[in-house]
Amino acid sequence: MTPSLSPWNAHGTLGCLEWPRAWPPIRTCAWTEETKDRCHWDPFLTACQQMARVRGAPQILSLSQPIPELDPLAVLAQKLGSLPPNRFPSYWYLSHKARGERVRVLGWGSLRQVDLSGEGGLRAARSFVEELQPHVHTACVSRRELLQVDGFPGSRQERPLCFCRLGFSPRSDGGAALVLPRWQLLQAPDSWGSLAVARLNLEIDPESDLAALANQITTFFAQMERLSPSPLPSWELQAPVPVDVEEAPLLARIQKALQAIQAGSLDKLVLAEAVDLHLPAPPSIPSLLAYLEKHHPDCSIFAFAARVRGTESFGAASRGSSPASPLPLTQEGIHPQVFLGATPERLLSVWQGRVQIDALAGSAARGATGHQDQVLAERLLGSAKDRREHQWVVRSIQEALGRLGMDPCISPQPRLLRLANIQHLQTLIEAELPANVHLFDLLAQLHPTAAVGGYPQEAALQWLERLEPFDRSSYAAPLGWVDLQGNGEFVVGIRSALIQGDRARLYAGAGIVADSNPEQELAEIRLKLRSLVQALALRPAAPLLPSL
């Protein structure tokens, strides 16, 4: 379990207990003028340093404070706007639905991280969490008036989170990593309205300067307090950049996939297309994310930013006979690379041993009128081709869970998931996670499902290696967060783009089955690409002045 550190239990005797299926209790202290004095933090810091000496290893003190009216995207905009030139941070943002309400999480910087590229990346992820868990200690500073509120953030909000980005395959060049950020913000709906929880993570070793760390704590929370009234990023619409899909090569790949399916090598193959764009100017990432949240309310919105060195280009990892055009960097040194999108697909949610998974496959456009929309919906529900494509996805998930000894509960019939410009068939799947199975063990079995790879899984991946002339990077890969108890939320990185300065690579795909029509699959890919084209044409209405 994650022990809660306080001056009354910090004698170096806490051990690593079995992971609980419920949260441990939270220590809180009231927010007073005293907490603004760095001396208030001395007992916490001293206790953690004592534990570092006893255990012979650095410890992490994770402190949180609820702050009203603190918007994660406004904070991200202010932080990015305050950076000096040529300073490009790493950050992680995920906005997803929980119980019908939106949860928004932002992580900034890296305190600890592990590289997940290559074979065995998910085993490394589990080891990272298990080894980190006994050395993280939490405390919450709360305002006096908030201590009286029922449902004070003492459950999901009161935990440090690790952010995870994977590549589509172990060979993908996508910055796959699991990161404990230097600080995080979590905003979730509750009886306390728009309250957010700000969390600062500090590493403490036997030789740490505790006075400097105490000053860092007071500075961080004071900064978050000043940012709480900051406005959301605003934007202005511009004409979207034209998207040019090279039809002939894509149709040729679809035909080859159909030939493989008709020969019995495959039942389904999901082919992707990557389209490179030159934007009028580097987009404002916070504005872009705010736009996606507004116009795609039923999707999970994500952005994972990492630094890329040297003169690499998006096309550097291309393969095959017709490589995608390279996107050279326009500056020297270290450059930010942001993978972002609006995905309708949740790969899995794990909470206290309960697993929820979405099976998503089978698509149709939305209608221009209510009547036309209903006709298209009924046609999708009755389509033998789309139902067959969808069933391969359900079957692949069921088989993956079965390999871990899990007996899932599966909805008997798919339902419609209606989005802004497209609708899908969706089946909900639930199961109990065995006590000896970690979230990352489940991810290793699930990814890639037949929704993004094909069926059978291994044969589909071999065909994709031969047919797709570009590296998928994190397209269609798992993205999300995990806590130290093994709870987590992961989505599938579809309807996405890789952005670097004024260059962008958009991704979209379509599932090919025996009776697929190549022209219809091409039209579906075009439809999916539209999810991000308008968002990439945004420009901030007015620059946000740094207030840090």
Each residue's pLDDT tens digit, 528-541: 998 888 889 887 66
Q: 196-200, 335-339, 398-402, 506-510: which has the minimum mean pLDDT?
A: 335-339
More confident residue, 3 or 270: 270
pLDDT digits (tens, 9 = 90+) for 438-469: 999 999 999 999 999 999 999 999 999 999 99
**Domains of the chain as residue ranges with CATH:** 28-227 (no CATH), 235-317+333-540 (3.60.120.10)
Q: Which of 91, 149, 58, 515 is nearest to 339 (CA)?
A: 91
Between the alpha carbon of residue 131 and those of residues 124, 125, 134, 384, the distances in Å are 10, 10, 7, 49
Annotate 175-202 with DSSP letters as a single string. --EEEE-SEEEEE--STTTT-EEEEEEE
Query: How many Å apart are CA 411 and CA 428, to the nearest integer?
Result: 6
The pLDDT-based confidence of 36 (bands split at 50, 70, 90) is low
Tens-digit pLDDT profile for residues 323-364: 333 333 233 345 678 999 999 999 999 999 999 999 999 999
The pLDDT of residue 542 is 59
- Record the tokens describing residue 17, joined without a space: 């207990």
| pLDDT per position as a tens digit, 227-266 | 877 777 677 888 888 888 999 999 999 999 999 999 999 9
Mean pLDDT, rounded, for 123-129: 96
The number of beta carbons lying within 10 Å of the beta carbon of residue 434 is 13
% of the chain with per-residue pLDDT over 70: 81
Q: How many CB atoms lie within 10 A of CB 179?
A: 25
Q: What pLDDT does 148 receive?
A: 35
Least confident of 168-172, 480-484, 518-522: 168-172
Average pLDDT over the chain, rounded to an integer: 83
| Lowest mean pLDDT across 159-173, 298-312, 471-485 | 298-312
- Residues designated as active site: 268, 345
Please return the burial class of 266, using the count of CB atoms within 10 Å of its CB with bins 0-12, 13-18 and 19+. Answer: buried
Q: 3-state class of 232 per DSSP? A: coil
Q: Which of 508, 476, 509 is nearest to 493 (CA)?
A: 476
- Which pLDDT belongs to residue 362? 92
pLDDT band at 91 (very low <50, low <70, confident <90, very high): very high
Q: Which two tokens stand for residue 545?
A: 């002045």
Question: Does pLDDT of 200 surpass 90?
Answer: yes
Give the pLDDT band (50/70/90) at residue 177. very high
- 476 three-class SS: coil
